[in-house]
Amino acid sequence: MEFVAQPFQIRAIRREDIRQVLEVERDAFPTLWPPTSFKKEMQNRLARYLVAVRPRTLMTEGVSDSGETGGPDPLTSDPAPPYGAWRRWLESLRRLLPSMSGSQSREFLLGYLGLWKVVDDSHIISVGVRTPHRRLGVGESLVIRAIETSLEWRIRFITLEVRVSNLAAQALYEKYGFKKMGVRKRYYRDNNEDALIMTTDPIATEEFQREFQHLKGVHAEKLARHLVLDIPVTS
């Protein structure tokens, strides 16, 4: 087991994550219908879904799972627990019934990314982060892991679509070597907005890898400055 200095973990989706990942999808894409069948996607050999998670805590004040603010750090904070006899009863019950504290209850899902393998390309199909946890490095960490996954697949290029109005996302993708290659007219059904097609150069080249490793290092340093927990990373 390896420990890395970052306040959340990126890992593959699990069945117990489905309820929370649907919550994130509704938050990030409120007009999307029907919702993604993540259970079916998990059975697709050509799909990989990544999630960003952090442990839930009993004793931390701050942003609740629903996004209500109450403290300075929305990434590493949870609502205050019940107090007194009620808290002691709850903690005793959790120890007596381990099944109540399974992965679904122990971890809070911050965001997710969907990746499809299409011949010799990877296609990022969606990236969603809960509203109160945006601009904190979650989406960038997911993109980094998607690039690493594509390298493991021996993929040549990575492609995605992004709204023409989503300048923040475009800037992030451009930072990691995605280039604007075309437009899909009226791609988004909720408002008929156009989508930009963005694609990388070959990702296995020495030039791409040198810049990618540099960006990973810079991102890791930024996360470390806001570090609260070392979270174990497992394969």
Domain of 156, CATH number, reads: 3.40.630.30
Q: Does 235 map to a domain?
A: no
Q: Which residues contact 214 (CB under 8 A, 6 or more apart)?
A: none
Q: Does 75 map to a domain?
A: yes
pLDDT at 67 over 50: no
Domain residue limits at 64: 2-227
Q: Does 124 map to a domain?
A: yes
Which residue in the list 173, 187, 193, 207 is annotated as catalytic? 173
pLDDT bracket for residue 6 (50, 70, 90) = low
Active site residue 173: yes
Based on the structure, what is the number of domains in the chain?
Answer: 1
Q: What are phi and psi of 47, to 5 degrees?
A: -115, 150
Q: Does 160 map to a domain?
A: yes
**What residue type is 132 in one-letter code?**
P
Residue 225 has a pLDDT of: 80
Which residue in the list 25, 107, 161, 176 is annotated as catalytic? 161
Q: Does 198 map to a domain?
A: yes
Q: Does 232 map to a domain?
A: no
Structure tokens at 10: 């990126």
Q: Does 123 map to a domain?
A: yes
In this structure, the number of other CB atoms found within 10 A of the CB of residue 33 comes to 8
Q: Does 98 map to a domain?
A: yes
Active site residue 161: yes
The pTM of this model reads 0.76
Residue 224 has a pLDDT of: 86
